Amino acid sequence: MNPLNILLLGTQGSGKGTQATRLSEYFNIPTISTGEILREEMEKGTELGKLAQSYINRGNLVPDDVVSSIVRKELSRDKYVDGVILDGYPRNIVQAETLADFFTLNYVLLIDISDEEAVKRVTGRRICPKCGENYHINFNPPKEDEICDKCKTKLESREDTTPEAVETRLKVYHSLTEPLVGFYKDKGILIKINGEQGIAEVFEEILTKLKEHGLHNEEK
């Protein structure tokens, strides 16, 4: 059986992380999210976390060599023999070329949403600083305005979801990450998905298009 290696592309708020989780459960293969790995390192206060913090909080990319070495090391583990869902790496052409030197992607899913929708989705996110519960002021609001349902603490925005950081991240996406669309289109593995639908509809479209592009369930 060939491994199933999928990359998810899209702006913040496109639902990449959500779809990565769904795909991972459906095909029973693990995900690698560089954003998650870096946030965990920040929480633990490691050297890597400290280095990443200033880039992440401002919405800039962490240096290529740092993320590429994390992913290269992670991908060498046995748990990825059947495949992987990559979320957030590669994020620019240099990273894509580095990855191509040691790893073959089968499909690249571009989850497409407008910048307006991205801003609306991301700036509405809230987190409870005490218990870590996540909310969204439009899609999953707390019962009491800006107050955690569970522990009654005042909710906060993650530092990289302030309007300034979101604007920077969108600029970074368009100038550095979007060129990957052409890069993978040229390789014939790019699949565009309409991200402005409900979570289940996006997932259905992904499965339908993967089949149209030759993926059969028995492959996994």
The residues of the shown chain that bind ligand AMP, judged by CB under 6 A, are 12, 34-35, 38, 55-56, 59-62, 67, 88-89, 91, 95, 160, 169
Query: 38 or 215, CB closer to ligand AMP?
Result: 38
**Residue 17 to residue 20: CA distance in whole angstroms:** 5
Query: 91 or 210, CB closer to ligand AMP?
Result: 91
Least distance in Å: CB of 168 to ligand AMP? Answer: 9
Q: Which residue has the tokens 């890069």?
A: 183
Query: 180 or 202, CB closer to ligand AMP?
Result: 180
**Residue 15 to residue 130: CA distance in whole angstroms:** 25
User: Any catalytic annotation for residue 50?
Assistant: no
Contacts of 90 (CB under 8 A, 6+ apart): 7, 96, 98, 99, 180
User: Any catalytic annotation for residue 125?
Assistant: yes
Closest CA to 127 of 157, 151, 153, 105: 157
Q: Which of 39, 72, 130, 158 is catalytic?
A: 158
Least distance in Å: CB of 82 to ligand AMP? Answer: 23
For residue 84, what are the β-bridge partners? 5
Q: Which of 16, 22, 121, 126 is catalytic?
A: 16
Query: 14 or 215, CB closer to ligand AMP?
Result: 14
User: Any catalytic annotation for residue 169?
Assistant: yes
Structure tokens at 45: 């206060």
Residue nearest to ligand AMP (CB): 35
Residue 206 exposure: Cα atoms within 13 Å on the Cβ side: 29
Least distance in Å: CB of 61 to ligand AMP? Answer: 4
Structure tokens at 143: 């019962």
Least distance in Å: CB of 67 to ligand AMP? Answer: 4
Least distance in Å: CB of 211 to ligand AMP? Answer: 27
Query: 125 or 169, CB closer to ligand AMP?
Result: 169
Catalytic residues: 16, 91, 125, 158, 169
